[in-house]
Amino acid sequence: MLYPIILAGGTGTRLWPASRTALAKQFIEFYSGQGTLFEATLARLQGLPSLASPIVVCGEEQRFLVAESLRRNRSESGYILLEPEGRNTAPAIALAAQLALERDEQAQLLVLPADHVIEDGAAFRRAVTAGIELAEQDWLVTFGIVPDIPETGYGYLKSGEAIVGSSGNRVAEFVEKPDLETARAYLETGDYRWNSGMFLFKASVYLQELASHAPDIEACCRQAYAGSEKDQDFIRIAESEFLACRSESIDYAVMEKTDRAAMLSLDAGWSDLGAWNAVWEHAPKDEQGNVISGDVLSVATGNSYIQAQSRLVAALGVEDAVIVETPDAVLVADKARAQQVKDIVAQLQQLKRKEKDFHRLVHRPWGSFESLAGGVGYQVKHIVVNPGAAISLQRHQHRSEHWTVVRGTALIYCDGREFALNENESTFIPLGSKHRLSNTSDKPVEIIEVQVGDYLGEDDIERFEDLYGR
């Protein structure tokens, strides 16, 4: 069987402010009607031979976004492996390989980052089918993207001698991101491909090669997986054992050292959407070369990406710009310097700004909350609780809360008393009280919450019971 391994972690830095730590780019719909990048990754698997349920590797922050995406795409039988902390691709794939081998000793792994764009799905599936044949011969297959420009933001693969009886080649060399002059030389030779970060191989062969070239990683991952525990829809990897593992990419740990590395060329409109200029390149444009999303007015503006989420954005006389508006942050950048967005994110982290990690609208396993207003000693939120969901049984040490139902009927528990709260009714949650809000109906419940206290951080929550294992 062919097991798709979808790597869905990420820090949400390169496409800030649309992406954040709590909502990385794979869970965002950049192109209307195509779903999120994660959903597009699932969709392009359809039609592949002997396809098993996907194995998704992610962290705590992404777990419920992944579960919901699998449900929407009717992939509830997929597996979700939770890393206690990111350790790059070599350990992540090792964990997934062990899970696949438990189910199939001949399992092949198709390793896919969750945040790529591939415009030609048929070409992708043809390349994967060719890769399956090479993997049967114990090759570790990587997919090299046929370059069309001298890109300096990607690593490169040099094509080696042809592999008899296939359309693949040995990988002669892995090359770091080049300068512009070197990238132009690579393009002229025709021997180089972009390193896509996609792979196909037998799970057993990968673990053998990992044990040979990075035995410490293989041993840590074997011990961490052996200590894993099933928790609802998730498989939690043993924390102490996994944190002892060093962080390493599959390229450095295995692919650059093995003599089994093979490459298949892929020309399928691929991008890793590594910066806003890449989002612009892959989107439909108007006559002025602009990509416009949301409530935008533009005059004498060209070759720009302009996105508005919550208000009118007006652009006048700008060229080659990126303008991204969200309810709590606005990015204005020269499109040619879009890669430097990470420098802004680094400043946010240094200043300990919440805009690095969270949007004003924050998704939770039970629904969502959105901050509407706040000041010294108070905060106002709009809270949505999904049908059949409930917040944890909890209490706060630094704040009291006032709840007003604006839609639906909420079931409230507060210090031993349980009662229904209907639309246009309110209740008071005193500081230090044990409380819970549940939705037992088949429609969302919406409330306005006013918090009052000397500290209003999300970490002022003491949980006693939780449906979601937090």
Distance CA 216, CA 419 (A): 56
Query: What is the per-residue pLDDT across 226-265, written as a single tens digit (0 to 9) for each?
Result: 999 987 779 999 999 999 999 999 999 999 999 999 999 9
Instruction: Give the domain range for residue 403.
Output: 361-465
Residue 33 pLDDT more than 80? no
Residue 349 belongs to some domain of the structure:
no
Residues 117 and 214 in one domain: yes
Is the pLDDT at 384 greater than 80? The verdict is: yes
- Domain identity same for 111 and 75: yes
Residue 124 is predicted with a pLDDT of 97
Please tell me whether residues 375 and 330 are part of one structural domain. Answer: no
Do both 197 and 294 map to the same domain? no
Q: Are residues 334 and 252 in the same domain?
A: no
Verify that 105 and 241 share a domain, yes or no. Answer: yes
Q: Is the pLDDT of residue 4 over 90?
A: yes
Judged against a pLDDT cut of 80, whether residue 78 lies above it is answered with: yes
pLDDT of residue 31: 84
* Domain CATH for 81: 3.90.550.10
The pLDDT value given to residue 12:
79
Is the same domain home to 291 and 369?
A: no
Of the pLDDT bands very low, low, confident and very high (cuts 50, 70, 90), residue 13 is confident
Q: For residue 254, what are its two tokens? A: 């295995």
Rounded CA-CA distance 63/58 in Å is 7
Residue 226, phi then psi, degrees to nearest 5: -60, -30
Domain end residue (candidates: 239, 256, 271)? 271
Classify residue 427: in a domain, yes or no.
Answer: yes
Comparing C-alpha atoms, which of 395, 365, 389, 366 is closest to residue 464?
395
CATH number of the domain residue 381 falls in: 2.60.120.10
Q: Which band of pLDDT confidence, cut at 50, 70 and 90, is reported for residue 467? A: confident
Q: What is the mean pLDDT of residues 354-373?
A: 91
Residue 108 and residue 236 share a domain:
yes
Confidence of residue 428 (pLDDT cuts 50, 70, 90): very high
In a domain, 155, yes or no: yes
Average pLDDT, the chain: 94
- The pLDDT of residue 68: 85
Each residue's pLDDT tens digit, 172-226: 999 999 999 999 999 999 999 999 999 999 999 999 999 999 999 999 999 999 9
Residue 363 has a pLDDT of 87
Same domain, 286 and 314: yes
Residues 79-111 have pLDDT tens digits of 999 999 999 999 999 999 999 999 999 999 999
Tokens of 245: 């593992």
pLDDT band with cut points at 50, 70 and 90 for residue 11: confident
The pLDDT tens digits of the residues spanning 147-178 come to: 999 998 899 999 999 999 899 999 999 999 99
Listed residues 217, 237, 271: the one ending a domain: 271
Tell whether 292 and 414 lie within a shared domain: no
pLDDT at residue number 337: 94
Q: Do 98 and 12 share a structural domain?
A: yes
Q: What is the pLDDT of residues 287-343, one digit of tens each?
A: 999 999 999 999 999 999 999 999 999 999 999 999 999 999 999 999 999 999 999
Does the residue 339 lie in any domain? Answer: yes
Kindly state whether residue 390 falls inside one of the protein's structural domains. yes
Q: Looking at the 3D structure of the chain, how many domains does it have?
A: 3
**354 in any annotated domain:** no
